[in-house]
Structure 1
Amino acid sequence: MKGQEWYQTAEVAEEYDEKRFSRGGRLIDRREKRAVLEAIGPVDGERVLEIACGTGRFTVMLAERGADITGLDISEAMLQEGREKAHAAGVDDHLEFMRGDAARLPFPDDHFDVVFAMRFFHLADTPAKFLTEMARVSKDVVFFDTFNARSTRSLYNWLLPMGSRLYTRGQVERLVDGANLSLAGAEHDFILPYGFYRKIPDWVADPIRNLDVSVVDTPVGQPLASVSYWRTSV
């Protein structure tokens, strides 16, 4: 996994949310949470697994909506941030955070109703193995996002210290087929890469985002989207 050692440090975990989801990054957080909720539907009473849960921003959100949710991550420091977030939200008795390897999930087949991963596959060194494991433990929905090869993300990628794995639609479709999943839906968003929004204040980000949305909703804009959300079924 790219950046594994960097990702697991306490310093990175403590600053993770502030660096990525403050300023203009708040609108990214809102959009990603909406994408998750739209893809997996009502979760009250559903058994859910989040892969690479990080600081638990989705895990806690779904626990607040009644999910029986487990958040798995390789970083103990990130998990500790998640536990503190869950305690502050009053849902720490309704979810579980556990350290583990997404390539060898410690759960039986068909254990969860929903399995999802956000901000994960761009760092995955063996994406087929990870997606196959996600499919194995889900009995219904598998949801994930990717960063796209034919987009502004490819330019921004040069500036990243770790780089990111970028995907074409064809590559995603082959991954889905290889995991014996069926593609049930896809959304494409963000002409401008995430890093751009994180560098600007809210009052600048919001009108630029409105323009971004108007472009990505056109036939010309969709192929240029830097992020795709993929809903698949078992």
Structure 2
Amino acid sequence: MKGAEWYQADEIAQEYDVKRFSRGGRLIDRREKRAVLEALGPLEDRNVLEIACGTGRFTVMLAERGADIVGLDISSAMLEEGRKKARSAGVADHIEFLRGDAARLPFPDDHFDTVFAMRFFHLADTPAKFLSEMCRVSKDQVFFDTFNDRSTRVLYNWLLPMGSRLYGRDEVHRLVDGAGLTLADSKHDFVLPYGFYRKIPNRLADAFRTVDTAIGDTPLGTQLASVSYWDTRV
């Protein structure tokens, strides 16, 4: 995985949410959570696995809505932050945080109703292997996002501390087919890259987001979207 040592550092885990989801980053957090909730649908009593759960911002949200969920991550420091969130939210009994390797998931076939990963595939050195494992342990749904190679994200990708893997849509379709999945739906968003929103105050982010969404609703905007959400079925 790209940047594995950077990602697992204690100081990164402690500052992760503040650096990424304060200022204009709050808008990103809201949009990503909405994308997950729309894709996963009713959650009561569903058995869910989150790959690369990080500090648990999705994990806790889904547990609060009735899911029984396992959050898997490579970073012990990130998992500890997730456990704190779960205890604070009163949902620790509905979450198991587990340190593990997404390329060798420690679960039997068809174990979960839904398996999903957000902010994961841009770090993946072997995306086909990861997606196949996600498919193996899911009996219904696999959901994930990618950063796109024909987008404004290209302009600042080289500045990131661990870089990003950017995907073409044809490549994602091949990965989905290769894993034995069927694409049920896809959505494409954010003409302006995440890094731009994080640098501006939240009050300005909303104004830029209005323009971003207007462009994104056009055929050109769809092609230039920096983020794609992929909803697939086993």
The alpha carbon displacement at 1:96 in A equals 0.5
Equivalences for residues 4-15 of structure 1 within 5 A: 4-15=4-15
AA matched with 1:31: R
AA matched with 1:109: D
The alpha carbon displacement at 1:161 in A equals 2.4
Equivalences for residues 82-101 of structure 1 within 5 A: 82-101=82-101
Identity of aligned residues (%): 77
Counterpart Cα distance in 2 of 1:109 and 1:161: 35
How many residue pairs match? The answer is 234
The alpha carbon displacement at 1:162 in A equals 1.7
**What SS does the corresponding residue of 2:97 show, helix, strand or coil?**
strand
The alpha carbon displacement at 1:163 in A equals 1.3
1:75 equivalent to 2:67? Answer: no
Equivalences for residues 163-174 of structure 1 within 5 A: 163-174=163-174
**What SS does the corresponding residue of 1:166 show, helix, strand or coil?**
coil
Q: Give 5+ residue unaligned stretches, structure 1.
A: none
The alpha carbon displacement at 1:94 in A equals 1.2
Counterpart in the other structure of 2:221? 221
Counterpart Cα distance in 2 of 1:160 and 1:107: 33
**What SS does the corresponding residue of 1:184 show, helix, strand or coil?**
strand
For the aligned residue pairs, the C-alpha RMSD in angstroms reads: 0.5
1:162 equivalent to 2:162? Answer: yes
Equivalences for residues 181-196 of structure 1 within 5 A: 181-196=181-196
Counterpart Cα distance in 2 of 1:162 and 1:16: 14
Counterpart Cα distance in 2 of 1:163 and 1:70: 27
Counterpart Cα distance in 1 of 2:158 and 2:99: 31
Residue by residue over 1:131-160, the C-alpha shift from the partner in whole angstroms, topping out at 9 and shown as x without a partner, is 000000000000000000000011111221
Counterpart Cα distance in 2 of 1:114 and 1:2: 25
Counterpart in the other structure of 2:145? 145
The alpha carbon displacement at 1:88 in A equals 0.5
**What SS does the corresponding residue of 2:207 show, helix, strand or coil?**
helix
AA matched with 1:177: D
Scaled by the length of structure 1, the TM-score of the pair is 0.99
**What SS does the corresponding residue of 2:35 show, helix, strand or coil?**
helix
Counterpart Cα distance in 1 of 2:162 and 2:18: 20
Instruction: Provide runs of 4+ in structure 1 moved above 2 Å.
Output: none
1:197 equivalent to 2:197? Answer: yes
AA matched with 1:32: E
Counterpart Cα distance in 2 of 1:203 and 1:46: 37
